[in-house]
Chains A and B, each alone.
Chain A
Amino acid sequence: MVAARGHRQAVLLLAPAVLLLVVLVGGSQALMLVASLGRRSAYGGVTHDWGLQNYLRALEPLYVRVLARSVGLAAATTIACLALGYPVAYWLARRAPPAMRRTLLVLVILPFWTSFLVRMYAWMFLLRTEGLVNLALGAIGLPALSLLYNPAAVLLGQVYGELPFIILPLYASLEKLDPELLDAAADLGAAPGQVLRRVVLPLTWPGIVAGSILVFIPSLGAYLAPDLLGGARYVYVGSLIQSQFAVARDIPFGAALSFALSAGVLLALWLLRRPLRAGAGESA
């Protein structure tokens, strides 16, 4: 009885979100799959001439290089966000005055109040040849630097944009950490570095995984930072897909790239499910 009621409640509570996801994600992926199997028509439409030709084309070295560059960007973004975000989250959760925590957390997500596009333009203003950074350098007599339109600028913009997404889950898992466990570890002879490695990191592993996924996946398909800060000089998979739809008018090929990327991410998550879940399981 109770179980049946709980079950019905769960269905009712989840139904709207599940429905929305099935229609929007499942539906759009299905459309992508169908389109990806077709051929581009003379006017930019899709002819129903089924085949795997678009997927074969995606495996050409040119496109594999683009994918590799994107994976590299996503990995570098994730690592940089972890390295920058973990100390911040640690400080927020364990050292910051409790009365200030809420305010500080709001500051972390404050950038969300401005459109990502606008913030990317702000970075362009800072980094371009006559930008604020170079003006400042010039003022103290230093030569101007070429800061914009290179992979480093893309990484910078990406890390800047994704950092809050990793701080929040890390904060949540660090805040739950029982301080008595850290005392116990030190008491049992663990030096501060060992406390971090053997206790803090394993116990906050779920936050590390959640935050990394939240950063890695959007970075993989990023196209705003690559286009605006990279000057489209280096093609990333996000911009490639976007240009297939918007510029090249090759919808089937864009759909194939997009579907392959989504499927690849899902497959990778499934293959890595054990280490991702059990990373904390450092047992002896």
Chain B
Amino acid sequence: MGRGAVSLRGVSKSFGTVTAVRDVSLDVAPGEFLTLLGPSGCGKTTLLRMIAGLESPGSGRILLSERDVTDDPPHRRPVNTVFQHYALFPHRTVAGNVAFGLEMAGRARADIVPRVERALEMVRLSGMGSRRVDQLSGGQRQRVALARAVVLEPEVLLLDEPMSALDRKLREEMRAEVKSLHRRLGTTFVFVTHDQEEALALSDRVVVMNDGVIEQMGSPAEIYDVPRTRFVAEFLAVRNILPAEVQSVDGPAVVRTENGLVLRSTAGGFVAGERLWVGVRPERMSFDGAGENRVAGVLEDRLFLGDRSEWHVRAGVDRLTVSEPGTSTGRQTGDAVTVTFETAALLRLVGPARRPPLP
């Protein structure tokens, strides 16, 4: 047991004066699909590269399958990586790329050929083995990179923003492909992305990172429904985020925003007197609907988004974003409206996670 488990214990990494990762501890279960989600520069790629052995941590330990590999060079680690820009060898054919790792492992030719064939089949590239890498499309290159990594049957597969160089349609195809590959292989996947949709669609568990630390981790639904910090909320498209102070916590918590709105929330964790942020997703708000929270305002702009419209509503000094489903609307700019939402929709958000002091 434990094959494919990844354990990070207090891992930190600095580049010169820049701290990329600060004291991160994290356990990935065997077979789990875990996503590191965050903006560029949050340390997610550095963390991935440390698992691969391509960077060594300044402090902390890294365990793979319950074995300490912190001091092992990358070529001795049972992990393989799918790189952001594919990193295919231009001097080798498609099959030559997939065979590279097997050749390095000293496998016999008779063993390599069928394995390469099977790996190419798995990513739907059978018959393309003799192509040159520069004859392939972006999506095909990506699949070669996948085949090249999985052919070695790694204990953990690392994927560094593997779809960021693809166009939208291909990304959606590759998303399905990666998901099905995970299901078929049962290998642990650690996936890095800055795309929240990708993270939510693929993962068993999402780790949101910011500025070198873990802001929050949980299932995609948890992260989406109950973001705990302002950063996570903003990153996952919670739009109406207002600074507020907690007035009372008897029954539903009552908060008063900086600009004077009094709102109620049934979210837990509020402490009377604390200053924090509250937020509401645009799609949890409606006009003149049910819901205990009611805010009067005036319609300012409408963005038509196909299946829904996004309204900007002026409410005193605040501007709220409300999502209205459907293609038609009876409203127009300048109308007075009442924005309503349930007490359960008001999220409690704290500031950025506290940075641990640097060693």
Q: Does B85 touch A at the CB level, under 8 Å?
A: yes
Pick the contact of B75 from A186, A280, A281, A284 — CB < 8 Å?
A186
Report if A199 contacts B (CB, 8 A): yes
Q: How far is the CA of A284 from the CA of B132 in the complex (A)?
A: 11
Residues of A close to B90: CB separation below 8 A: 203
The verdict on B169 contacting chain A, using a C-beta distance below 8 Å, is no
> Do B103 and A281 touch (CB < 8 A)?
no
Q: Would you give the 0/1 interface string for B66-105, flagging 1 where the beta carbon is closer than 8 Å to chain A?
A: 0000000111000111011101111111011001110111
Given A185-B100, A191-B75, A194-B104, residue A284 in contact with residue B92 (CB < 8 A) = yes
B99 to chain A, nearest CB (A): 5
Chain A, residues 22-41, CB within 8 Å of chain B (1/0): the string is: 00000000000000000000
Contacting pair B99 A178 (CB below 8 A): no
Query: Would B52 and A187 count as touching, CB distance under 8 A?
Result: yes
Residues of A within 8 A of B99 (CB): 284
Determine if A187 and B81 form an interchain contact, defined as CB atoms under 8 angstroms apart. Answer: yes
Asked whether, in the complex, the Cβ of A186 is within 8 Å of the Cβ of B73, the reply is yes
Q: Decide: B81 and A184 in contact? CB cutoff 8 A.
A: yes
A206 to chain B, nearest CB (A): 11
Instruction: Give the residue name and chain of the B residue nearest to A201 (CB).
Output: B91
A188 touches B96 (CB 8 A): no
Check B100 against A280 for contact (C-beta < 8 Å). Answer: no
Q: Which residue of A180, A198, A282, A284 contacts B87 across the interface (Cβ within 8 Å)?
A: A180
**Residue A190, interface by CB 8 Å:** yes
With an 8 Å Cβ cutoff, the count of chain A residues facing the other chain is 22
Within 8 Å of chain B (Cβ to Cβ): is A114? no
* B267 interface hit (Cβ, 8 Å): no
Q: Does B201 contact A (CB under 8 A)?
A: no
Q: Mask for B87-131, Cβ within 8 A of A = 1, else 0?
A: 111111101100111011100000000000000000000000000
Residues B91 and A284 in contact, CB atoms below 8 Å apart = no
The answer on a CB contact under 8 Å between B87 and A184 is yes
The answer to whether B91 touches A188 (Cβ under 8 A) is: no
Q: Is A188's CB under 8 angstroms from B93's CB?
A: no
Query: Is A141's CB within 8 Å of the partner chain B?
Result: no
Q: Interface residues of A: mostly helix, strand, loop or mixed?
A: helix
Q: Which residues of B contact A143 (CB under 8 A)?
A: none
Given contacts A187-B54, A188-B148, contact A180 B101 (CB under 8 A): no
Give Cα A139–Cα B13 distance, bound, in whole angstroms. Answer: 53
Question: Does A181 sit at the interface, judged by CB under 8 A?
Answer: yes
Could you say which residues of chain A place their CB within 8 Å of the CB of B103? 198, 284
Complex CA gap A284/B100 in Å reads: 9
Min CB–CB distance B73 → chain A (angstroms)? 7
How many angstroms between the C-alpha atoms of A280 and B95 in the bound complex?
16
A186, B54: Cβ atoms closer than 8 Å: yes
Closest to B54 in A: A183
Chain A's nearest CB lies how many Å from the CB of B23? 25
Asked if A202 is an interface residue, CB under 8 A from chain B, the answer is yes
- Asked if B152 is an interface residue, CB under 8 A from chain A, the answer is yes
Cα distance A131–B173 in the bound complex, in angstroms:
74
Q: Is A283 an interface residue (CB 8 A)?
A: yes
Task: Please name the residue on chain B nearest to A181 by beta carbon.
Answer: B87
Across the interface, name the chain B residue whose C-beta is closest to A183: B54
Given contacts A283-B93, A284-B95, contact A189 B83 (CB under 8 A): no
Q: Give the CA-CA distance A188 to B83 in the complex, in Å.
A: 12
Chain A residues numbered 180-229 whose CB sits less than 8 Å from any CB in chain B: 180-181, 183-191, 194, 198-199, 202-203
Knowing A189-B75, A284-B96, say if A203 contacts B91 (CB, 8 Å). yes
Residue numbers in A under 8 Å from B88 (CB-CB): 184
* CB-defined contacts of A191 to chain B, threshold 8 Å: 73, 75, 104
Chain A residues lying within 8 Å of B148, measured Cβ to Cβ, are 188
**A184 and B95 contacting across the interface, CB-CB below 8 Å:** no
The answer to whether B91 and A202 have CB atoms under 8 Å apart is yes
Q: Would you call B105 and A284 a contact (CB within 8 A)?
A: no
Task: Please give, as numbers and ranges, the residues of chain A lying within 8 Å of B85 by CB-CB distance.
Answer: 178, 180
Interface centre among B79, B81, B84, B104, by most chain A C-beta atoms within 10 angstroms, is B104
Cα distance A39–B73 when bound, in Å? 70
Smallest Cβ-Cβ distance to A194: which chain B residue: B104
- The answer, among A184, A280, A281, for a CB contact under 8 Å with B83, is A184
Question: Shortest Cβ distance from B27 into chain A, in angstroms?
Answer: 23
| Cβ of A64 to closest chain B Cβ, rounded Å | 39
Which residues of A are found within 8 Å of B95, using beta-carbon distances? 284
Q: How many Å lie between the Cα of A283 and that of B104 in the bound state?
A: 14
C-alpha gap A250/B223 in the complex (Å): 91
Chain A residues near B87 (CB, 8 Å)?
A: 178, 180-181, 183-184
A79 nearest CB across to chain B (Å): 23
* B77 → A minimal CB distance (Å): 8
A194 to B95, CA, bound (A): 19
Contact string against B for A residues 152-179, beta-carbon threshold 8 Å, 1 for contact and 0 otherwise: 0000000000000000000000000010
- Counting from the closest, the 5 A-B pairs by CB-CB distance are A284-B96, A188-B101, A184-B87, A189-B104, A180-B87
A198-B100, A284-B93, A284-B99 known, 7 other contacts, Cβ within 8 Å: A183-B81, A184-B88, A186-B54, A187-B81, A188-B80, A188-B104, A284-B96
Binding site for B on A (CB under 8 A): 178, 180-181, 183-191, 194, 198-199, 202-203, 280-284
Q: Which B residues fall within an 8 A CB radius of A?
A: 49, 52-54, 73-75, 79-81, 83-85, 87-93, 95-96, 99-101, 103-105, 148-149, 152
User: What are 24 inter-chain pairs, A to B, with CB distance below 8 A?
Assistant: A178-B87, A180-B84, A180-B87, A181-B89, A183-B74, A183-B83, A184-B83, A184-B87, A184-B89, A185-B104, A186-B74, A187-B54, A188-B75, A188-B80, A188-B101, A188-B149, A188-B152, A189-B75, A189-B152, A198-B103, A203-B91, A281-B91, A283-B96, A284-B92
